[in-house]
Homo-oligomer: A and B are copies of this chain.
Amino acid sequence: MTDARLSPVLDKIDADLPDALDRLMTLLRIQSISTDPAYKESCDSAADWLVSDLESIGFDASKRPTPGHPMVVGHGGEGDGPHVTFYGHYDVQPVDPVDLWNTPPFEPVLEDTAEHGQVIRGRGASDDKGQLMTFVEACRAWKAVHGSLPTKISFFFEGEEESGSPSLIPFMEENAEELKSDLVLICDTGMVAPGVPSIASQLRGMLKDEFTITGPRIDLHSGHYGGPGLNPLREIARIIASFHDDTGRVAVDGFYEGVHEVSAEQKAQWEGCGFDEKAYLEGVGYTQPHGEAGYTTLEQQWARPTLEVNGLWGGYMGAGTKTVIPSKAHCKITCRLVGDMDPDKLREKIRKHVEDRLSPDATVTWDQDLDGSPAAVMNTSRPEFEAARKALTDEWDREAVFVGMGGSIPIAGFFKEILGMDAMLIGFANEDDQIHSPNEKYNVESFHKGIRSWARVLAELSD
């Protein structure tokens, strides 16, 4: 029965691709950078646009206020299949350094490339506007062809994913009854290799922190005070250097508590998943992996925790020279967590590590106090995973694989924790999409086959 229902939907998707791309372009033009308060209105506009678009398909959609950027919730469809909720985020990363963009980040373009055919270029093209629209477009096509949806479908979009989702947990708690369904579908991940459909079986968790080290009370002259002066830039460098040992292992006491070694079976699966280590490394200018000695590149990326510095600054950063010993030095860090690592405990361990290493007269302040998210392992024994595996294999003509993910999608954990729901993460991004970087893109193939993939998944789920 599936084929008869599905084929005209796939045809409709093919025919409507130009319109679907136009809609995505419209959404990409909205400068919904969630981390910067200057873009608050743009975030609001993106939410409005999504409400209106869902309504145009027939969903009962609404913008829901939060203390931060609004949520978008929509409901529609019915049927005997599982009630699924599709989650995505309409906010995007900041665009700096903006001078490295070849086209303005919020003026998306279709670009012909030798390697990928046509791509959509612009901030959010892949993360996550392009990805979230694959599911929306699949629903639109299904509804257009059949006049109804194949199963009960809800939407849940947030606008704070790139800033740590501060409103998400309270919103879930306050709207638990409305938000509960059988399974959450998330399209915010990538394919392990070009053309290899991938279902995430584990995600790393995340912990963010930021600190400032103060040395002297005021900026000092490096002649008058160079020598006796405590330099917070040297102080922060020394402390950052102490985060890792010579083998790349994190040297924070107790850091690896809750980390489990990868099983031999898991290793074997990953070895056959199509991951192109050479392309992954060489694509960014590496000749070798630089993580913990003794682990493969994929293990370093999917199964090992990290402590990274994402920003570091202090002193004079302009042209020429200023002979200053600055008063303050700043650092932003994130950790990726695996297994049963506890973000709250880990934060304390890291803070203690820093505080224990301060020189006399140096002080540290902690400038963020954000919730962390633990790692997530998916319940791949659920029948929906087998259904999705089949749907993806059909669409991409290549066996779909279960893969780990180096990134963090805390939302998966929150759905489980607060709403008791399992999550299934399927995404069509490519490693070279340059998400979070200048010149972000999304392959039109990802967009097009992504929409078709979701149509097939809906068909399988409702079969």
Contacts and interface: CB of A to CB of B under 8 A. Distances in A.
A163 to B, nearest CB: 5
6 contacts: A204-B226, A220-B436, A225-B284, A227-B304, A228-B291, A229-B284
How many chain copies does the complex carry? 2
Given A312-B312, A361-B287, A361-B288, A35 B322 contact: yes
Contact of A332 (B237, B240, B311, B315): B315
B309 A231 contact: yes
Interface stretch (A12-20, A174-182, A391-399, A405-413): A405-413
A108 interface: no
A159 B213 CA distance: 34
A436 B221 CA distance: 6
A227 to B, nearest CB: 3
Interface string A369-411: 0100000000000000000000000000000000001111000
Interface string A202-245: 00101010100001111111111111111101101110111110
A325 B293 CA distance: 19
A317 B330 contact: yes
A406 B223 contact: yes
A312 B312 CA distance: 7
Nearest to A127: B221
A4 interface: no
B359 A290 contact: yes
B315 A312 contact: yes
Contact of A224 (B208, B242, B330, B406): B406
A320 to B, nearest CB: 4
B221 A290 contact: no
A228 B297 contact: yes
A285 to B, nearest CB: 4
List 7 A-B pairs, minimum CB-CB distance, nearest first.
Answer: A223-B407, A227-B300, A35-B320, A237-B240, A217-B285, A241-B241, A311-B315
A139 to B, nearest CB: 28
A457 B408 CA distance: 72
Contact of A223 (B97, B322, B405): B405
A308 interface: yes
Interface string A62-93: 00000000000000000000000000000001
B320 A36 contact: yes
Given A234-B244, A436-B322, A310 B316 contact: yes
B311 A227 contact: no
Given A223-B336, A234-B309, 15 more contacts: A96-B316, A96-B318, A219-B436, A220-B436, A226-B301, A233-B310, A233-B311, A234-B244, A241-B242, A310-B321, A310-B326, A311-B326, A321-B334, A321-B370, A323-B436
